[in-house]
Chains A and B, each alone.
Chain A
Amino acid sequence: MDAVAHIQAGQPTSTPWRYRLDEMAWRDLVEGLKHDSLPFVGLWCDGTDIHALFMPHDMQPLAATLALESGRYPALSPARPVSSFYERMIFDLYGAEAMWGTDVRPLVDHDVWQNSMPLAPVPGAAGDNKGMVAVQPSDAMQAASGTAMGSGPATGGYETPLHVAMVCEGETIRHAETVSGYAHRGMAQRWHKCRVDEANRLSGRYDAGCSAAHQAAFCQAVEHACGQQVGHEVSQLRLVVLELERVTQHLFTLATLARQAGARLVASRCMWLRESLLAKAAPVIGSRLMMDHSVPGGVNLRDTASMGTLCEQIADLAEEVYPPLVTLWQSYPGLSARLAGLAVVESTLLERVGLDGPVARAGGGECDYRRAMRAYEGLWHFNGGRHNGTLEDRAAILLDEVGESLRIIKALGPRLGLSAGGRIELTYEDGEGTGLAEGPWGAVLYWVRLKNGRVDQVFMRNPAYSALMAFEAVLPGQNVADIGLIRTSLGVSAAALDG
C-alpha cells in the first residue's frame, strides 16, 4: 500500500481530504514514507492533534491527523528531513515531543520568552536567560576543527535577523549552523480566534517580500473553507499583483546580489527599474510592497479600474529597459566570474530538503505550481535555463523570471480592461480550506480552519525551512566572505522562518 492509500485508509473527517490515523498507522506511515516520494508540505499542531499535510498531485491536498496523546507523537523527520524544523517549532510552542526526531534543539524558544510552551494548555514558566542567545552546536559542529566564527543577527545590513555560527579553516567554512528565532512574533497565537480581516492583514506581514503571495493564499484558503470561489476577473487581478511582486522582489534580490558581488552599476540599474515600476504601480495598487491587496472574496486595490492601463504602462517600460538590463548583467566585467561555481545546490540536496521555487528551478527541478493553476492557463509556460544549481544559475533564473512575469503582465492587460473585479460576500461557517500561491521564492500554502465566524487555526507553509537547510548544507567549502551572497541567492529570510 502506498502512502496515499495508507492515509486514505484512515478514518474520514468532516474535511474530505483529511484522515485521522491512530498511532500505529502513523508509525506505519512514517516507515512507508521512507520508500515513497509523496511530496511533504508540512506538519503542525493545534493543541489537541498533530496534522501532516501532503500534496500528492498539484493543488490536491491530503492530510493525516493524529491525536496528541501524552504529549508525544512519532516524528516524520526520519522520512522527511525538513520535518525536523516543524517538529522543533511544535515542541517550542506546545511542548509536544517528536519521538525519534532527527534534531531536538530549540528552534525559536531560547529561554528568553515570557512563557515556555506558550500555546500549551498550561504554559510553562518564563525563561531564565536575560542575555544573548547561546549557540547550541550539534555533534557535527563540535567535532569540526578550526576557528569558531559567527555572523549576525545584527550586521548593520538590511536583512532580517539570523545568526550563522561557523567553524572555519583560514577563510574557508568547514561547518556552519544557524540560530533562528530572533524574529519570532508568535503568528500562530495571533491568528488563533482572530477576525478574518485581521488575520489577512497578519498574513500580509509574515514575510514582506512575499506579502501578495501570502495574502492570496490565505484568502483562497478562507474561500475554500467557505465553499466559495472568486470570479475570473478577481483571479486575474490577483495574478497581476502576484506577478508584479515576483518582478519587484527578483529585481530587489538581483540588485542585492550585484552589489554584494561588487557590480554596483548593475545593482543600481536593477534597483532603478524596480523603483520605476513601483512608481507606476504603487498609486494604483496602494502599496509598494503589495500589502493588503487581496481580501477574502475579492481584491482591495486603490484604483482597480486602472489596472489594465497599469499593465500596459509596465509592458511599455519593460520593453524599453529589460533587454538592456539582461545584456548588462550578462556582459558586465567580472560579474559572471564572481558568481560562477559558488554554492552549488545539487538535485540530490533539493530532493532531500524538499526545496521548490527558483532555487530548485536553477538546480533542475520542474516545480512551479503556476503550471497547474487554472488562472494561469494560456499565460504561463515552462521557462528553460541553466540548471547546474550554481549561484550564477540562480541569478540567471531570477532574471529570466523577471522577463517571464513582465510578459504575463503584458498579456493580462487587455483582459482586464476597466474591470472593477467584483467581490463575493462570504459567510464564515465552520470549515477548513487550503490555498496556494507561487510566491517569489516558491509555494506559499495556507491551511485555515474557521470556527464561529472567526479564524480558529492557521498553518502556513513556505520554502523557508528548506532554504535554510540548503543554506547550511552548501556553506562548507565556501569563503566566509560569501555568506551574504549565498544567503541572498537562496532567499533565506528570518521573518519567513520564525513566524
Chain B
Amino acid sequence: MGLIRAVFDASFRQSTARRKPAGPRWPLMLFHVDTGGCGGCGMELEALATGPYDMQGAGFSFVSAPQGADVLLITGALTYTMAPVLEAAWKAMPTPKGLICVGNCAIDGGIFSENYSLMGGVSRKVHINLRIAGCPPTPKDILDGLCSLFAQHSKATGAAQAEAGVSSSSTTSS
C-alpha cells in the first residue's frame, strides 16, 4: 500500500489552471475502485454516469480496465483486503495518472475509522490530487469536483439544480 504514490505528471498539473488539454486522451478516463464502504458513493457515481448530468459532455468517462485510465477514482474506507487490489490497479495504469477520492470514507475513513480490517481512507498514506467530500456527495457535487480540475463549472440540469444544497460537501484539490 505504501507504494501508492499518486502524482499528476508535470504537464498535466500545469494545465489544470487553464483548460483540460485536448488530444488523444480526451475525455479524462476514470477507473473506479470501491475499496470497502456502504456502496452509496458508487450509487451516486452510477447516477452521475447514467443520469441527466451529461458527464461525458463535461469531458469525463469511466473505463472498465485500469490500463486505459488516466485517473484512479476511489470510494470506500479502504479495507486491508482491498489494499492490494487498489495497488495493482494503480500499477496497471499508464502515466501520467492521478488519484481522486470521492466521499468522506475514501478520504479519511469518514464514519468508518481505522480498525482491525480497515485502514480508514488514504489521506495519511498517499498524495490525493482531488478530494470530493460528502456522505455521500451528490452526483452534482462529484461533477463539480471533477470539473474543478480544469476550472470549469458543470452545466447543471433541472434535476441537478433542484438538489443543490441537499448534501453538505466540499471539494479540494492539490
Contact = CB atoms under 8 A, between A and B. Distances in A.
A385 interface: no
Given A161-B34, A208-B39, A186 B81 contact: no
Contacts of A378: none
A439 to B, nearest CB: 14
Interface in B17-47: 31-40, 42-47
A113 B36 CA distance: 14
Nearest to B136: A289
Interface stretch (A35-43, A274-282, A395-403): A274-282
A208 B50 contact: no
Interface string A373-387: 000000000000000
A160 interface: yes
A449 B117 CA distance: 24
Nearest to B53: A275
Nearest to B1: A130
B111 A205 contact: yes
A157 B40 CA distance: 13
Contacts of A291: 40, 135
Contacts, number: 182
B63 interface: yes
Given A160-B34, A160-B42, A190-B115, A276 B81 contact: no
Contacts of A127: 80
Contacts of B42: 158-160, 208
A21 to B, nearest CB: 31
A271 B158 CA distance: 14
B162 interface: yes
B65 A186 contact: no
A456 to B, nearest CB: 18
B166 A182 contact: no
Contacts of B57: none
Contacts of B39: 159-160, 183, 207-209, 493-495
Interface string A267-291: 1100110111011101100111101
Contact of B162 (A115, A181, A206, A280): A280
A316 B38 CA distance: 32
Contacts of B88: 132
A147 interface: no
A283 B162 contact: yes
A126 to B, nearest CB: 9
A493 B39 CA distance: 8
Nearest to B45: A158
B79 A185 contact: yes
Contacts of B52: 271-272, 275
Given A158-B43, A181-B81, A186-B117, A282 B36 contact: no
A113 to B, nearest CB: 5
Which bracket fits the contact residues of A?
A: 35 or more
Interface string A82-121: 0000000000000000000000000010101111001000
A205 B82 CA distance: 19
B77 interface: yes
A278 B50 contact: no
B138 interface: yes
A161 B85 contact: yes
Nearest to B138: A288
A190 B116 CA distance: 11
B51 A271 contact: yes
Interface string B107-133: 000011001111000000000000000
Interface string A109-151: 0101111001000010001001111000000000000000000
B94 to A, nearest CB: 15
Contacts of A112: 80-81, 83
B79 A182 contact: yes
Given A161-B35, A278-B163, A282-B166, A271 B117 contact: no
B50 A259 contact: yes
Interface in A53-84: none
Max chain B Cβ within 10 angstroms of own Cβ: one of A108, A114, A127, A202: A114
A360 interface: no
A283 B166 contact: yes
B51 A288 contact: no
Interface in B64-102: 64-66, 69, 76-77, 79-86, 88-89
A202 B111 contact: yes
A208 B134 CA distance: 14
Contacts of A183: 34, 36-37, 39, 76, 79, 82
A141 B69 CA distance: 34
Given A132-B85, A158-B45, A205 B116 contact: no
Contacts of B89: 154
Interface of A: 108, 110, 112-115, 118, 123, 127, 130-133, 153-161, 181-186, 189-190, 201-202, 205-209, 211, 252, 255-256, 259, 267-268, 271-272, 274-276, 278-280, 282-283, 286-289, 291, 493-495, 498
9 contacts: A118-B117, A156-B65, A157-B32, A158-B34, A182-B36, A205-B111, A211-B38, A275-B52, A498-B36
Given A153-B82, A159-B34, 14 more contacts: A108-B117, A113-B80, A114-B80, A133-B81, A160-B37, A160-B42, A161-B34, A161-B36, A161-B85, A184-B117, A205-B37, A205-B40, A271-B52, A274-B47
**9 nearest CB pairs, A to B:** A208-B40, A279-B162, A158-B46, A156-B64, A118-B116, A205-B38, A183-B36, A275-B159, A158-B42
